[in-house]
Structures are given as C-alpha cells and as structure tokens.
Amino acid sequence: MRISIIGSGYVGLIIGACLAKLGNKVILIDLDEKKIDAINSGVSTLYEEGLDELLSRTHVEASSDYQKIMNSKIVFLCVGTHSDKDNSISLEYLIQATEQVSRVLRDKKDYYVVTIKSTVAPGTTEGRIIPILQRWGRKVGKDFGVCMSPEFLREGKAVYDFMHPDRVVIGEYDSKSGDVLYSLFQNFNAPILRTNLRTAEMVKLASNAFLANKVSFINEIGNICKRLGIDTHEVAKGMGFDNRIGGKYLEAGIGFGGSCLPKDLKMLIAKAKQIGYEPKILEEVSNLNEKQALKPVELLKKYVSIKNATIGILGLAFKPGTDDVRGSRAIEIVEVLLGEGATIKAYDPLAMENFRKLYPYIKYVSKEEVLNCDAILIITEWEEFNGLDYTGKIVIDGRRIIKAEEARIYERVC
C-alpha cells in the first residue's frame, strides 16, 4: 500500500521504517532538512534498538515536499503535540500539518484515509481535524476517510512494539475509513479494536494515565516503606505475582518522565477540567510524580553541602535504551543542583549529545570520572551502571542499581 507519514520523529520514523519493511511504499514528510537528508542516506536520527538495521535494509524516502503524498492511500499524521502553559495540548504542529495535507489533497481523485497517530484529547479529530480536511470542499465519508489510531510503542523497544503490538486500536469516522486501516493491520498478531474516533483518543490517554498511576502508586508505597525500613522492591515483587496487578510499572524510584506520560496525563486532566470534572486521582498522580523527582537532592543534602560540591550524575536519558532526554528527571535535578551552586559532571551511554543541547555548560565525562565526584546520583537504570566500582563513594540511587549498594554511603530514594 502507498503510505505517507507526516512527521519523522520517534513515532513517524519508526512506523515508517516498519511499514516499509512489511512491503508498503512509504514516504516520510518532515520540515527538518537535516532529518530528511539523514533518512535519505539510510541513517537514523535517533537511537532505537534495531532501527539502524531496518533503515539500512529497507527503502524509506523522506522529503519536505507535501506534493509527494498525492498517491497515498493512507496519510498518517505523526507530528508532535506538546503541553501548553495551561497544560492543555498545543495543536499548533498538527493543525499546520493538517492544513498542508488538506491543501495538497484537494484535487486527489481517488479515496484516501487520513489517520491521526499523534496523541490528542477526545473530540480533537472530529472537532479540529475534520473541519480542516473539509476546507476545500472535500467531504469526509465520500471523498476521503478519517481514522484515529493511537500509537502505544515504548521508546527503546519501539521497533519490536510496533511489529508485535499488544493491540491495535482503530478509531474510525465510518466503516469505510476503518476498513482501509484494518487491511493494513489485519495480519498483525494482535487483537484489533474498532471504535469511534473519540473512544480511540481516550484509550490512549486512559492507558497512559493508568501506567502513570501505577508508577505514582508504587512510589507512594515506596515512600511509606522507606520510613518503615521495608524493601519496596520486595513488596512490588509480591504484588506483581498477582495477575490482577501485574509486575510491570511497579519499580519505585524517582518517577516517570519522557515526552508522553507526563504530557498525556496533564492533557487528560486539562480536558476533564474543561468539561467541569475535577479529576482528583489523576491530579495527585501528577503531583506526587513532580515531588518524587527531587527526592535525590533532598537525600543528598544529608551528606553533602551542595554549594561548591561536585556532583556526579549517572544517567541523563528519561529511561534506558534511548537517547531521548525529553522530560527526563535529570533536567529537574540538574536545574536545582546548578541553582544551589553545584558543579555537575554527567555521564550517559547514549544521551549526552541530546542533553548537551539543553545544558552545554555542565561537564560531560566518562562514567569512571563521575565516580570521582563528591557524591553520585543515579538517575537512569542503565545496566552498565551495575559494572562500576562504588567502593568508598556516596551514592544516592534514584532507581535500583544493586552494585551501588557497595558504596560507603548508599541511599535509595524508595
């Protein structure tokens, strides 16, 4: 099938490469010429397990020319949706991209389906996207179809996740629209849920809110366990054996970051408030997560005077397996440490270049050099941190790196 993907970031590039591997003819559209050149040379602009290999073996064309979407049967919209100041979602990029799609496809003769992959609040596809797509006299349901198919891939495992989804959700304007998307996904070994557009939008937000809830829940339990001298990890293990609970997303620590969970949770809170509902649980999940980020700094102050100290940071990516630092807990921690007069030396196996774009003036060093600092904070649970010698050091562990327990002073956040 001929497929266009608008936005070649984490989601667009990965689904583009995967759909090309499955035999589809894919064109990626982006505004960032550097990204386009890299993709056309078969180079990945981001780190994802298996992505380089995929790009070297499959042909995916990238371009900034929207005219190239003209022959597509499906146009996926995968541009970023970021939080606005009031925590509602900014649709700026999505609207711009939709306007371009609408303009280019106004003369397209054959039927096509525009599919939203970007995460949006319930009602957005119907209320904001379809009117733009109809602007040039084209009629949804007749000239073209519309779907909303949320993406659930996890960064770090995104290629695997796209190829082996737990489920595919197809929100459809009508069954004709959904049939086209169904034909693309029918051979995936996963349940396919066909629903209306706003339900699909809500499935994504509710799923991420639930995962966020699990993390904040175990952190709350962890904060209580720490005061009681109980190992939260053991408690989580005991809970996780219960199939009704499940062991995933029960790692206590400094909470969730990244470009999705915090934003999607805030998007749902903002939407609920906008329609007059006070989502108290969701608000507490978010508040607790914000407080949890700075726990390592609180603990650090028990052992080191931060002003003029050199603090080592192990881990800058928002989670292991990625070079993505968007929403990383390291950002909040570095901000506070710099504000209190510390010098920072940091190491991450993949994310130093991306972090350097945000903080060019902190020192990026080897992991061994981080160990020579006055104290060390572990922010990301990279497996390689289990291979370091922490003897004699002061370590505050925001995750759970077992080897670090050998430090002279060792404290885990919870």
Give catalytic residue positions. Answer: 260
Q: Which is nearer to ligand NAD, 148 or 313 (CB)?
A: 148
Closest approach of Cβ 94 to ligand NAD, in Å? Answer: 8
Closest distance between ligand NAD and the C-beta of residue 210, in Å? Answer: 15
Token pair of 304 as six digits: 């080191």
**E strands, 111-201, where?**
112-116, 144-148, 168-172, 192-195
Whichever of 14 and 395 has its CB closer to ligand NAD, that residue is 14
- Looking at beta carbons only, is 32 or 340 nearer to ligand NAD? 32
**Residues in the chain, overall count:** 414
- Residues with Cβ within 8 Å of 180's Cβ and at least 6 positions away in sequence, in order, are 73, 74, 113, 145, 147
In angstroms, the CA 372 to CA 365 distance is 11
Element spanning 61, H or E: strand 61-63
Q: How far is the CB of 253 from ligand NAD (least distance, A)?
A: 20
Tell me which residue has tokens 């190239």. 68
Q: Is the dihedral of CA 43, 97, 4, 322 positive or negative?
A: positive
Nearer to ligand NAD, 151 or 172 (CB): 151
Q: Please provide residue 218's backbone torsions phi and psi, each rounded to the nearest 5 degrees.
A: -70, -30
Q: 148 with 125: CB under 8 angstroms?
A: yes
Catalog residues that contact ligand NAD under the rule CB under 6 A.
Answer: 6-12, 29-32, 35, 78-81, 93, 96-97, 117-119, 151, 153, 155, 259-260
| Residue number of the CB atom closest to ligand NAD | 9
Q: Token pair 């266009």 is at which residue?
A: 4
Is the Cβ of residue 31 or residue 192 nearer to ligand NAD in the bound state? 31
How near is the Cβ of 95 to ligand NAD at its closest, in Å? 9
Nearest to 298 by CA among 344, 235, 340, 343: 340
Nearer to ligand NAD (CB atom), residue 211 or residue 334: 211
d(CA 307, CA 129): 51
For residues 119 and 232, which CB has a smaller minimum distance to ligand NAD in the complex?
Answer: 119
Query: Nearest 5°: phi and psi at 408?
Result: -60, -45
HEC states along 306-375? CCCCEEEEECCCCCCCCCCCCCCHHHHHHHHHHHCCCEEEEECCCCHHHHHHHCCCCEECCHHHHCCCCE
* Partners of residue 151 on adjacent β-strands: none
Minimum distance between the CB of residue 9 and ligand NAD, rounded to whole angstroms? 2
Residue with tokens 């994504």: 204
Q: How far is the CB of 242 from ligand NAD (least distance, A)?
A: 28
Report the nearest approach of ligand NAD to the CB of residue 14 (Å): 8
